[in-house]
A and B are shown apart, each in its own frame.
Chain A
Amino acid sequence: AQSVAQPEDQVNVAEGNPLTVKCTYSVSGNPYLFWYVQYPNRGLQFLLKYITGDNLVKGSYGFEAEFNKSQTSFHLKKPSALVSDSALYFCAVRGRSGNTGKLIFGQGTTLQVKP
């Protein structure tokens, strides 16, 4: 069965420090990988995706993510955190086989950036 794990319920960082939000997955074959962010009372917003090619993917708002096939991980990173980055982050995967765009989401990680 396909699954996504975000091992940390919450990540706390100080503003200006680098941040990492972890994600590991269990999917047969090579999946498509996504990160979404959810601000309070707002819908999920797309941040970035990995399809193929370079393992380091750059996305919106200075975020990037590193795909590691051997570790089946897709960790979200940012070199310098902002207080405004505080939100709920979701990792998601989608299989390449079949004709479905179904996303499997992790349970989410709350990022708290303190001034």
Chain B
Amino acid sequence: GAGVSQTPSNKVTEKGKYVELRCDPISGHTALYWYRQSLGQGPEFLIYFQGTGAADDSGLPNDRFFAVRPEGSVSTLKIQRTERGDSAVYLCASSRGVGEAYEQYFGPGTRLTVT
């Protein structure tokens, strides 16, 4: 079946601009996660949704970052007033749920470059 998809695959924006990154999870997966991966580092947790609600947003670095999942499927990560330090690969993952340590399935990522 189809895996997790993310659009765009690459995004170049100027410092101070607003960007939106989209994630389409695997059909039927109720849990959705966003991570950020900087060069040479492991993925860093940003936010987790169970259904439509953000169950854990402890990883969002500041209030410029916001994510939504209005219908419990597609999610959008929004970054306001982008800074050069926001440049990274943003990964989305989904899982069947949270219990029983369901494994997370990752998308290919969106590479964000802030110039």
For B22-52 the 0/1 string (1 means CB < 8 A from A) is: 0000000001010100001111110010100
Report, as a range, how many residues of chain B touch the other chain.
Answer: 20 to 34
Residue picked from B43, B48, B108, most chain A C-beta under 10 Å: B43
A and B contact pairs by CB, cutoff 8 A, 7 listed: A94-B101, A100-B56, A101-B98, A103-B35, A103-B43, A103-B104, A105-B42
Cα distance, A104 to B33, chains bound together (Å): 12
List residues of B (74-104) whose CB comes within 8 Å of A's CBs.
91, 93, 95, 98, 100-104
Query: How far does the alpha carbon of A108 sit from the alpha carbon of B4 in the complex, in Å?
Result: 22
- Chain A residues with CB under 8 A of B45: 102-104
Residues in B whose Cβ lies below 8 Å from that of A107:
40-42
Contact A46 to B104, CB < 8 A, known contacts A99-B98, A108-B41: yes
Would you call B48 and A101 a contact (CB within 8 A)? yes
Q: Does A63 contact B (CB under 8 A)?
A: no
In the bound complex, residues from chain A placing their C-beta under 8 Å from that of B31 are 101
Question: Shortest Cβ distance from B69 into chain A, in angstroms?
Answer: 14
Chain A hits for B56, CB < 8 A: 99-100, 102
CB 8 Å contact bits of A73-115 with B (1 = contact, 0 = none): 0000000000000000010101000011111111110000000
Contact A106 B48 (CB under 8 A): no
- How far, in Å, is B15 (CB) from chain A's closest CB? 27
Tell me the smallest distance from the CB of A76 to a CB of chain B, in Å. Answer: 14
Tell whether A44 pairs with B43 under 8 Å between CB atoms, given A34-B103, A94-B101, A101-B95.
yes
On chain A, the number of residues with a Cβ less than 8 Å from chain B's Cβ atoms is: 25
- Which A13-67 residues sit within 8 Å CB-CB of chain B? 32, 34, 36, 41-46, 49, 51
Measured CB to CB, the nearest residue on chain A to B89 is A43
User: Do residues A102 and B48 form an inter-chain contact, with CB atoms below 8 A?
Assistant: yes
Q: How far is the CB of B53 from chain A (nearest CB, A)?
A: 11
| In the complex with contacts A101-B98, A103-B43, A105-B43, A46-B48 CB distance below 8 A | no
Query: Within the assembled complex, what's the spacing in Å between the Cα atoms of A34 and B4?
Result: 19
Distance in angstroms between the alpha carbons of A46 and B44 in the assembled complex: 16
User: Which A residues are in CB contact (< 8 Å) with B107?
Assistant: 43
